[in-house]
Structure 1
């Protein structure tokens, strides 16, 4: 039985939206558009320099900004605040502009309203990144950005709501999974206000006050000859039609705020804040990762225990962090050469596919499946199904996965953080023909890899502790009489993954963006 503590909403003591400066800025109606414009300019720079700039990856803003700075800042924002980059997503800005010309008329098919397609695209992006060395190809990176813009535009011009964000976007799924460990959450301020609300503007959207307009229509009837001629009543009928145009959309991802639990599927767009006529939405601090063990039904999602697709996303998020980091180390190249000889193939694609198949399918199945079997035995009387236990505990690996993504992406960011300066200076020379921003300082790079390693260890440690805490909370919820023993298998899995993560991070890692191993 679920613990009662997991179903009680805590009163709100801090609302960041009420802070004098920060709150006013966040509540500004054009705050999101401003952030989107900034990122749109950044995307334009990436595309233009990728197509027209130098082909060397370490000298091109397309590869450096996309694969070094963007990814590093993305995970740091998720750690410090929440899903900030979905808030400022420039794809949505372009989509909104397109919807002014053509409104979508279709709804995404019910059978496809899952994460499975997005999971497949997530794997495809990870695989393509390694297979085609996208980090080393500025032009290919620029085309990838254009494909992303085009895909979001085509899908959301055909289907209503935030279809691309919720069901297809690989970056969005990464952010959704990571945001479950973020420290901030949007929630209702007072539940009593929501109970008395009759409009549900937070999800339906807000419309302008009713405006009555006179509509004159012919009435197909003949006035009696003996009756006095009254044109207004006998030949025409005057009716009043109510016209209410939308002025603010509600949540396009289908999250009804009074029933919203956690950050899954929330893009932090703040549309609910703008739409609520009662000013009853708060941005509050919360315990990171606590939502991963929350058994409540979630608006627009359902219960985590019944969503095998979201559990699969959690496992991909965790084990994908390991595969993605390992692929950049020296031992991975040794392994690929050995596999190439063993499989007797000359192409990299089947070799890399084998690595991904083992890392994302075989290893998770053995580790997580074995832990689920042991948990069932340790629970006594073999309570619950193996698949149900696996799904419930899969979410416990998300904090570890986030720690690994942080350790990996921050390595590239911190060791290359200043490279954007000389590359921008060089780009100015290419465009203007003279050093408008000064001569490039090519010696500017960042921290030494050895200085970053302790920071990486800290991220792995915090992520592992978070996974242990979530696993124990799940055990307390599902097996209150035996929480300790049922947590042991998952503690072993988390400790094993942490040890492997430390080994991976200790290997010479390719300094993508600089062009050598560090």
Structure 2
């Protein structure tokens, strides 16, 4: 069982007081909504040169980089400030949802499909270079969230459909922060269950994701909405500090989720999280262009879509199946007799790839943030000139970009190293949990998988990268 969490951020003087404030989330959402509206407006009506537009630069350079940093340091903070939910809440004042999400669809499969689809669309249309396309994607997101959540009750879009949400759910499992009960005894004597039912007398809703706090483990499926904090009449909710990744070892049944070892969809999501990180990083390197040209010749295709589709099927289908299936088969052979099938073993070990996957995403998105972080200044200066007709913030300083790629590479290697160490440790701890008599034999193939993936990540990051989002001079 993972070690108990101790420190409670909600009891900290300034941050804790703000998070306990009833309007904390709404305040964050309003700020993010204002920023989003600015980005969409500039994306639609501003310069259509990607590195000169706020929509593309802020979305694909700053937002993604800050997202992974926040997930690592503070958990699912960006879901806390999600503007889609704010717009949905306003819409629900006009029209209340009247349906429940079908029970058969209460899985991650649709969310997984949408997650992969967003990765595919991003690469197919080069959204990082298309301001109007980026703005339209954001508007489509708002439309999808409204369409679903004005019909279906609860946080249906967040829990089952949102691609960003699925990414954040998995990534937040390596954060040290999680919402949990402060004193279990208080919950055992509670008879109102306001944390999940809500408090009608104060118009405070309970957890819309169906996570009953006394049975909640870790941050998976938690949007950090803080509704449980406001709903609990006993002030018995803590934003506790614990060991990152420890929840991935927990075999207990989780409220709203069940046991991780029985969730093939969650296991698939964690695997795609890791391999998707590799593919997304590989797609920004020079060798991928040579590979796509070779595939196009072999397929006799003049269109990028089928070539990219083959690349995705191989990278996110064939390779993970071969890697996990092979490792599971070897583990089963080395630990005979065992009651687990090859598939069950793969599901039990899948979560071990999360730290590595997070390291890849952090190395990739961190690269863009560190090499292009300052570009927001000249892009904002240029945007002001477009709007008011004169340099109110001064002439754009296009020479402002960020760190040199060579200086960032050691930092990237550090992220890959830390993520790989986390996955190696999890692989062995899972082996100790499931095969206490033969942990070394059980873990060996999985340690090999992690090391091979780490080597692949280092090779990818060492390749020439596309400098997406850097400002243009002249």
| TM-score of the pair, normalised by structure 2 | 0.98
Q: Distance in 2 between the 1:401 and 1:391 partners?
A: 16
Find the counterpart in structure 2 of residue 119 from structure 1: 112
The match for 1:396 is: 352
Secondary structure, aligned partner of 2:257: coil
SS in 2 for 1:185: strand
Q: 2:411 aligns with which of 444, 455, 458?
A: 455
Q: Which has the higher strand share?
A: 1
8 Å contact from structure 1 (residues 95, 153) kept in 2? yes
Match of 1:291 in 2: 247
Q: 2:104 and 2:15 mapped to 1: Cα distance?
A: 41
Which residue number in structure 1 is paired with residue 313 of structure 2?
357
Number of residues of Structure 1 aligned to a counterpart in Structure 2: 472
How far is the alpha carbon of 1:380 from its aligned partner?
Answer: 2.2
Instruction: Show the counterpart of 2:41.
Output: 48
2:213 matched to 1:273?
Answer: no
In structure 1, how many angstroms separate the alpha carbons of the residues matched to 2:200 and 2:189?
19
Residue equivalent to 1:376? 332
| Superposition TM-score, scaled by structure 1 size | 0.90
CA distance in 2, matches of 1:402, 1:116: 21
Secondary structure of 1:268's counterpart equals: coil
Work out whether residues 369 and 390 of structure 1, in 8 Å CA contact, stay in contact via their aligned partners in 2: yes
1:490 and 2:446 correspond: yes
Deviations 1:42-73 (A, max 9, x none): 11011100011001000000000111100000
Q: Which residue of 1 aligns with 2:273?
A: 317
Larger radius of gyration: 1
Residue in structure 2 matched with residue 176 of structure 1 by the alignment: 169
Q: 2:211 aligns with which of 255, 258, 277?
A: 255
Secondary structure of the 2:180 match is: strand
- 1:514 Cα shift? 2.3
| Counterpart-to-counterpart distance in 2, 1:486 and 1:31 | 47
Question: Which residue does 2:258 correspond to in 1?
Answer: 302
* Aligned 8 A contact 1:414 1:447 in 2: yes
Hey, what does 2:367 align to over in structure 1? 411
How far the C-alpha of 1:515 sits from its partner, in A, is 7.8
Q: Is the 8 A contact 1:185 1:263 kept in 2?
A: yes
More helix by share: 2
Q: Give SS of 2:96's match.
A: coil
Distance 1:487 1:480 in 2: 11
Instruction: State how far apart, in whole Å, the 1-side matches of 2:267 and 2:395 are.
Output: 51
CA RMSD of aligned residues (A): 1.0
In structure 1, which of residues 19, 31, 35 is the aligned counterpart of residue 12 of structure 2? 19
Task: Say if 1:376 and 1:383, in contact at 8 Å, map to a contact too.
Answer: no
Describe the SS at the equivalent of 1:283. Answer: strand
Q: Which structure 2 residue ranges, 5 or more long, are not aligned?
A: none
Q: Report deviation, 1:207.
A: 2.1
Residue by residue over 1:96-144, the C-alpha shift from the partner in whole angstroms, topping out at 9 and shown as x without a partner, is 0000000001000000000000000011100010001111100011000
Assess if the C-alpha contact under 8 Å between 1:72 and 1:410 holds in 2: yes
